[in-house]
Structure 1
Amino acid sequence: MQYNQLGNSDLQVSEICLGTMTYGRQNTIEEAYQQLDHAISQGVNFIDAAEMYPVPPSAETYGFTESYIGEWLKHQQREQLIIATKIAGPGRGFKWLRDGAKAIDRDNIKQAVDDSLKRLQTDYIDLYQIHWPDRYVPRFGQTVFDPSQLKETVPIVEQLEVFADVIKAGKIRYIGLSNETPWGVVQFSQAAKQFDLPKVVSIQNAYNLLNRVFDGALAEAVYYENVPLLAYSPLGFGYLTGKYLNGKPEKARVTLFENFGQRYLKPNVNKSVAAYVEIAQRHQLSPAQLAIAFVRSRWFVASTIIGATTLEQLKENIESINVVLDKEILAEIDAVHTQYPNPAP
C-alpha cells in the first residue's frame, strides 16, 4: 500500500480510502466491522464518512454510519488512523438535519463537529470536509451554472474563521472541500493566504472513467493550489463493473433505491461501460480493477475512495492496488473516452 501526503498537511493517507456510506442502510454494524477490520489489515489507514450518511439519507438512519464507525473505533489505536467526515451544506431540503439549519456558519459548524465527535467516539477528526458548498453551484450530475439560482451565502472568509477556531480547540486537524468547483478551490485557498486562515488540504469530487470532468479546470486549480483529489465513485455507482449491462441485479443500489444515481442513466453510459469492460477482459483484468487502477494512476489523486456492500467486493477493490496500467491500456482507455467523452458528468 502506498501512502501520499495530503496537500500541505502532515497527513500520510493510504492510496485506498475506505468509503462507508452504505453503513446503516445496505450494511449492518457487523458487516461494517468486517469491512473495517479487513481494510485496516491490508494497510488502509484512511476512513471517510459524513454526518448525513448512510445514503440515500433519511431521518430514520441519519448518523448511523458515524455511530457504527465510532463503536469500532473505540477498540482501535486511534493515532494510527486518519478519520474524515463532512458537514452537510444547505440546499438539499433535509428538514431533519440539525433541525433544518444547514448553513455553513458558526453555530452549524460547531454543532455538526460536536455531534460527529460524539457519534465517532473520538476527541478529534483528522479531516473535516464541507460536503458541498454553502453557495449555489451545479452539483450531483448538474452541469449548467444558472445565475438565477444564486442565493445569500456565508462568505468563505467567515467559514474559514470558524474552522480556525475549531482547529485551535483541537476538535479537527485539517479541512477539505467536496463537490467543489475550480472557482471555489481558488477562493478558499486565496482567502486562507490573505487572512492567515487554515488552508484546505483536499477536495473530494466524483472521478471515474465515465466522469473525467476533473481533468480540465479543476486539475489546473488543484495543481497550483496544492489541493489533491480524494476521488469518490471510482466505479461509477457500480456501473463500471459491468453488472448493469444486462439489467439490474436484485440487491444492487440502483435497484433498491428508485431515482438514485440519475447521472448514470444518460445516453452512452452503457456503450462506454461495455467498451471499458472489453478492455479489461482483453487484458485479463476485472472491470473493477481496471476502473480503480485508472483513477489511482492520475497525478492529482491522493487517495481513491472505495466502498462495497460485500466483503468479497471490498477484497477485489483493495487488490486493485497491485494493478498498474501500461501505456497500451491507457491509450485504449483514452480512445474510448474520445468516442464517449464524459457520458455521466
Structure 2
Amino acid sequence: MKYNTLGDSDLRVSEICLGTMTYGQQNTRPQAHQQLDYAVERGINFIDTAETYSTPMNPKTQGKTEEYIGEWLVKQQRDRLIIATKVAGYAPQLSWIREGKNHLNRKNIEQAIEASLKRLKTDYIDLYQIHWPDRYVSLFGRANYDIASRGETVPIQEQLEVFADLIKAGKMRYLGLSNETPWGVCEFSHLAKQLGLPKVISIQNSYSLLNRVFEIHLSEACYENNISLLAYSPLAFGHLTGKYLEEIPANSRVGLFPKFDDRYQKTNKIEAVTSYIEIAKKYDLSPTQMALAFVRSRWFVTSTIIGATTIAQLQENIDSLNIELSQEVLTEIDEIQARYPNPTP
C-alpha cells in the first residue's frame, strides 16, 4: 500500500480509502466490522464516513454508520488511523437533521461535530469535511447553474472561523470540502490565507471514467491551492463493473434503491460503459480493476474511495492496486472519453 500526503497537512493516507455509506442499510454491524478489519489488514489507514450515513439518507438509519465505526474504533490503535467524517450542508428536506434548519452556522456545526464524536467514540476527527456547500450549487448530476435558485447562506468566513475554534479545541485536525466548485475552492483558500484561518486540505468529489469533469477546471484550482482530491464513486455507482448492463440484480444498490440511481440515467451512459468493458476484455483486465486503476493513475488523485457490500468486492477493489495501466489502454480510454464525454457528470 502506498501512502500519500493530504494537501498541506501531516496526514499520510493510504491510496485507497474505505467508504462506509452502506453500513446500517446494506451492511449489518458484524459485516461492517469485518470489512473494517479486512481493510486495515490490507494496509488501509483511511476511513471515510458522514453524519448523514447510511445512504440513501433517512431518519431511521442516520448516524448508524458512525455508530458502527465507533464500536469498532474503540478496539483499535486510534493514532494509526485517519478518520474522516462530514457535516451536512444546508438541506431543508433533511428535516431529521437539526430540524431541517441546518445552515452551517456556529450552532449547527458545533452540534454536528459533538454528535459525530459521540457516535465515533473518539476525541477528535482527523479530517472534518463540509458534505456539500452551504449555498446553492448544481449538485449530483443536475443541469446548469441557475441564478434564480440562489438563496440565504452563511458566509464562508464565518464557517472558517467556527472550524478554526474546533481545531484549537482539539476536536478536529484538518478541514476538507466535498461536492465543491472551482469558485468555492478558491474562495475558501483565499479567505483562509487572507485572514489566517484554517486552510482546506482536500476535496471529495465524484470522479470516474464516466465523470471526468474534475479535470476541466477543478484540477487547476486544486493544484494552485495544494488541495488533494479524494475521488468518490470511482465505479460510478457500480455501473462500470458492467453488472447493470443486462438486468439489475435484486440485492444490488440500484435494485434496492432505484431513485438513488438518477444521476446515472443519462444519454450515452450504456454506450460508454459497454466500450470501457470492451477495452478491459481486450487487455484481459477486470472492468472493476481497470476503472479503479484509471482513477488512481491521475496526478490529482490522492486517495480513491471504495465502497463494497461484500468482502469479495472489497478484495477485488483493493487488488486493483496491482494493476498499472499501459499507455495503450490509457489511449483507448481517452478515445472513448472523446466519443462519449462525461455521460454522467
Q: TM range, normalised to the smaller chain?
A: over 0.9
Counterpart position of 1:203: 203
SS where residue 116 of structure 2 aligns?
A: helix
Superposed CA deviations along residues 41-98 of structure 1, whole A, max 9, x for unmatched, are 0000000000000000111111000000000000000000000000001135110012
Q: Residues 91 and 100 of structure 2 are in contact (CA less than 8 Å); yes or no, is this contact kept in structure 1?
A: no
Distance (Å, rounded) in 2 between the aligned partners of 1:61 and 1:92: 18
Name 1:256's counterpart in structure 2. 256
Q: How does 1:98-109 map to 2 (within 5 A)?
A: 98-109=98-109
Partner of 1:333: 333
SS of the counterpart of 2:258? coil
Task: Give, in whole Å, the separation in 2 of the partners of 1:104 and 1:198.
Answer: 16
Q: Counterpart of 2:18 in 1: which secondary structure?
A: strand
1:183-222 maps to which residues of 2 (within 5 A)?
183-222=183-222
Distance in 1, matches of 2:14 and 2:199, equals 21
SS at 2:290's partner residue?
Answer: helix
| TM-score normalized with structure 2 length | 0.99
Partner of residue 37, structure 1: 37
* Alignment match, 1:170: 170
AA at the equivalent of 1:39 = A
Cα separation, 1, equivalents of 2:92 and 2:245: 31
- Summarize the Cα distance change of 1:92–1:255 in structure 2 as closer, same or farther, 3 Å threshold: farther
Partner SS, residue 337 of structure 2: helix
Matches within 5 A, 1:5-20: 5-20=5-20
Maintained 8 Å contact 2:92/2:102: no
Residue by residue over 1:127-185, the C-alpha shift from the partner in whole angstroms, topping out at 9 and shown as x without a partner, is 00000000110001113000001111100000000000000000000000000000000
State the distance in 2 between where 1:186 and 1:281 align: 41
Q: Secondary structure at the match of 2:50?
A: coil
**Equivalent residue for 2:153?**
153
Rounded to whole Å, the distance in 2 between the matches of 1:99 and 1:218 is 33
Identity of aligned residues (%): 63
Q: Aligned residue for 1:84?
A: 84
Question: Which is worse superposed, 113-122 or 94-103?
Answer: 94-103
Q: Is 1:55 the equivalent of 2:55?
A: yes
Aligned counterparts of 1:105 and 1:71: Cα–Cα separation in 2: 29
Question: Cα distance, 1:230 vs. partner?
Answer: 0.2
Q: Structure 2 CA distance, aligned partners of 1:226 and 1:149?
A: 31
**Greater Cα shift, 225-234 or 260-269:** 260-269
Question: After the TM superposition, which segments of 4 or more aligned residues of structure 1 sit over 3 Å from their partners?
Answer: none
Write the deviation string for residues 257-313 of structure 1: whole angstroms up to 9, x where unpaired: 131121211111011001111111111111000000000000000000000011100
TM-score (norm 1): 0.99
1:107 Cα deviation from its structure 2 partner: 0.3
Residues of 1 paired with 2:28 and 2:227: CA distance?
34
Residues of 2 paired with 1:198 and 1:90: CA distance? 21
Structure 2 distance, partners of 1:284, 1:94, is 45
Alignment partners' CA distance in 2, 1:74 and 1:8: 28
**CA distance in structure 2 between the aligned counterparts of 1:263 and 1:257, rounded to whole angstroms:** 12
2:17 is aligned with 1:24: no
Residue 227 of structure 2: aligned partner: 227
Task: State the distance in 2 between where 1:82 and 1:129 align.
Answer: 13
SS at match of 1:261: helix
1:312 pairs with 2:289 = no
CA distance in 2, matches of 1:92, 1:314: 34
Whichever residue aligns with residue 303 of structure 1, its letter is: S
Q: Tell me the residue number matched to 2:294.
A: 294
> Whole-Å Cα distance in 2 between the matches of residues 57 and 153 of structure 1?
22
**Unmatched 5+ stretches in structure 2:** none
Q: Distance in 1 between the 2:92 and 2:328 partners? A: 43
Q: Distance in 2 between matches of 1:121 and 1:101?
A: 26
Deviation of 1:215 (Å): 0.5
Map of 2:144 onto structure 1: 144
Residue 341 of structure 2 aligns to a residue in which SS?
coil
Q: Structure 2 CA distance, aligned partners of 1:126 and 1:269? A: 36
| 3-state SS, counterpart of residue 111 of structure 2 | helix
1:228 aligned partner, one-letter code:
S
The one-letter code matched in structure 1 to 2:168 is K
| Cα distance in structure 2, aligned partners of 1:237 and 1:92 | 25
Moved more, 229-238 or 84-93: 84-93
The alignment status of 1:247 with 2:247, answered yes or no, reads yes
Q: Does 1:268 align with 2:251?
A: no
